[in-house]
Amino acid sequence: MASNQSAVDPNPNTKEPLRRVGGLPESGTPVDEMLESLRSERSGDLDWRGGRAFSLVYNADDSELERLQHEVASLFLHENALNPFRYRTLLRMEGEILEMARGLFGAGYAGLTSGGTESIFMAVQTARDHAVERGITSPNLVCAITAHPAFAKACHYLGVQMVTTPVRADGRADPEAFASVIDSSTAIIVASSPCYPFGVIDPVTEIAALAMERDVLCHVDACLGGYLLPFWEALGQPVPPWDFRVEGVTSMSADIHKYGYSFKGTSTVLYRDQDLYQRQIFMYDAWPGGLYASASSAGTRPGSPIAAAWATLTHLGVEGYMRLNRRVLDATLGFRSVIDDTEGVRITSDPDMSVFEFGTDPGADDTPDIGVIGDVMDDLGWNLDRQQGGLHIMLSPGHDRSVDAFRHDLGQAILRRGTAREGVHTYGAVVE
């Protein structure tokens, strides 16, 4: 005869098995097994160390810097800068990062973010709120078609209309085109320093002057160039005015995880005036959990990127950045000379730094298909990003070792273009 089962489990350690939820495995995987599997899997990912990749990672080619970053990342792996007063080391580091950034760019106030997109979001949100306070109910942002897509994303999420204008023949923003579309609802106009597609710096002086004349804000997107251009100028390269030394520039974005050579993700958003900076600070005290405040859109902020950015800036200093960027200059001169010397291709702009596009030369006797050339270069182990008008190059210190190999293989690609995979080449890429 069956006995009655007690309503209370006599063995509290006996439980019903947890149902499989969302694909979570029933039992875990051993550490060594997982690491071996991941090492094998990632062997097919982008090789950013080999000098044949031109985006996503900025290879400083500095083993001591990389060792420092790994050690610091490990030390601060679990720290959370949501409450900086509980992690006073991170608070100090962040303060010193922002002090260095303000000094480098001549800014009055600065904040730290997770990357260029968040920096741009903060600048657009600040401009929107500034405009709303002035009675503008439907603010708009004016930029060239070469402005980073993060501005379109910010406008989409923040309810700001984006108005784009064509660029001049040299790929730079056209102040006259800006002037023709600025209206009573314009909150902010944007200049790139440089733009990603062509590596050219927009005429910041003219755009900022227009902003002052029309009483609107002016943002300089230096996410790409910010932590390189001061040293580029010191190396004797011509750099047009682009930072807070230009009257009328009210805000700026600049990524430490690009030419600042730290790992992802840290960026800085900077302002001329305190009033603008304070508009991005969020404070909320109507919560039973107490006061909640943050200086950017993120709540939880991992400690490792903050600590590594501080360690990178402090370790390198001016001397280190000059050393690394001299290598970038050597690589830039080398790669540009290869393209200039190769029949059938040409650089499609007059770039201001180490970023540019190259495409076919319409004056060549036998004009090659640049997409097919890209396919052959892929087959030869290169990773050139596709754009609408050609192939894109963005150079880091480690590329100075690749100039001769690039010269040889680009020549081979020109010769072999007739045997490339027909119909495979594509245009367009995810940008930084």
Report all structural domains of the chain as residue ranges with CATH numbers, in order of start: 64-315 (3.40.640.10), 317-417 (3.90.1150.10)
Find residue 34's DSSP bridge partners. none
Assign 430 a pLDDT band (cuts: 50, 70, 90): low
Decide if pLDDT at 168 tops 70.
Answer: yes
Asked if 274 contacts 218 with a C-beta cutoff of 8 angstroms, the reply is no
φ, ψ at 183 (rounded to 5°): -135, -170
Assign 3 a pLDDT band (cuts: 50, 70, 90): very low
Segment 76-99, tens digit of pLDDT:
999 999 888 889 999 999 999 999
Closest by Cα among 432, 352, 339 to 390:
339
Closest by Cα among 244, 226, 252 to 120:
252
Percentage of the chain beyond pLDDT 70 is: 91
- Tokens representing residue 247 in the block: 């009257």
Render the burial of 331-364: b for 16+ CB within 10 Å, e for the rest: bbebbbebbeebebbbbbbebbbbbbbbbbbeee
Decide if pLDDT at 427 tops 70.
Answer: no
Segment 185-207, tens digit of pLDDT:
999 999 999 999 999 999 999 99
Contacts with 295 (C-beta within 8 Å, 6 or more apart), sequence order: 111, 112, 280, 281, 282
The C-alpha angle 301, 267, 285, rounded to 5 degrees, equals 40
**Residue in this structure with the two tokens 């992802």, named with its chain if needed:** 264
Q: Write down the pLDDT at residue 15.
A: 61
